[in-house]
Amino acid sequence: MNRPITRRAHGKINVFLRVLGPRPDGYHDIETLVLPVSLFDTVTVEPASGLTLELEGEPSVVARLHLADPDSNLALVAARTLAQAAGVDTDRSGAHLHIVKRIPVAGGMAGGSADAAAVLHALNELWACGFGGARLAEIGAHVGSDVPAMLAGGPVLARGRGEVLHPIYATTTPWIVKTLDFQVSAADAYRWWDERGARSGPDGGVVVAALETGATRTLGACVFNDLEAGVIEHHPEIAQVRDAFLAAGAEAAFVSGSGPTVVALAPHMIHADTIADRVPGSMVVTGPPD
């Protein structure tokens, strides 16, 4: 295929995140409800010699990505991993990746994993690999723990280190998101959980049921994130954002994933803009996206 292919890479929030404990491979077993939201990056792939990456977006976001090792960018890792699995000679039949960034970097919304998932879908088409969803998920698991969930394209209950997925139904719910101007690595967040000797949170079945039925008040009462206490201990300013959302009328406010992004649940869509206005720098999103 010679034409460019464009995909949306939606960010996510973890409506609950339960850490079950460390694994022998260095990861942690978790249980989490991954909800894609309307905030998205745009990923375009087109035929080229070699594998190249171009980033576009808000200058400070792009600058953070350029400071990192380009070879570690998950979009490029995904492209290389897919090429190896499909036997594609990228020197002759590679791809140029163009990503317009909107999702915060290292903010707990899986922006890098979402980009990687979109790249896998788009290159699977561009290179005519013919891989189905299950095979792409296997490949995605080698790229990053969040990638299989982002490949799913809808709300999922994820277990293992994130690769065991069960699709769920979710009513559309209004959320408000505020990013902060620093990053938290997932490795640090899980290490802090270990160091605290923290216990696992409750079974997430009530959270799943509340999201499926649209019971916003119940949902607000039962969302949780086991990583949150450790992240806030090292970055107490996050608690100020959380408390500001609650004071503005949110049903709940908590850290998304490893943070530092804070998400708040609005009682109803008509309240979301008001809450966002009272917490400067925040934005309204919906999940799952239309």
Which of the residues 12, 41, 115, 226 is marked catalytic? 12
Alpha-carbon torsion, ordered 156, 157, 163, 165, to 10 deg = -70
Number of C-beta neighbours around residue 60 at 10 A: 9
Which of the residues 41, 146, 178, 226 is marked catalytic? 146
Residue with tokens 């022998």: 24
Instruction: Say how far apart CA 100 and CA 40 lie, in whole Å.
Output: 9
12 is catalytic: yes
**Which amino acid would we find at residue 87?**
G
Structure tokens given for 26: 């260095």
In a 10 Å sphere around its CB, with 0-12 CB exposed, 13-18 middle and 19+ buried, how is residue 118 labelled? buried
203 is catalytic: no
Structure tokens given for 210: 């509340």
Catalytic residues: 12, 146
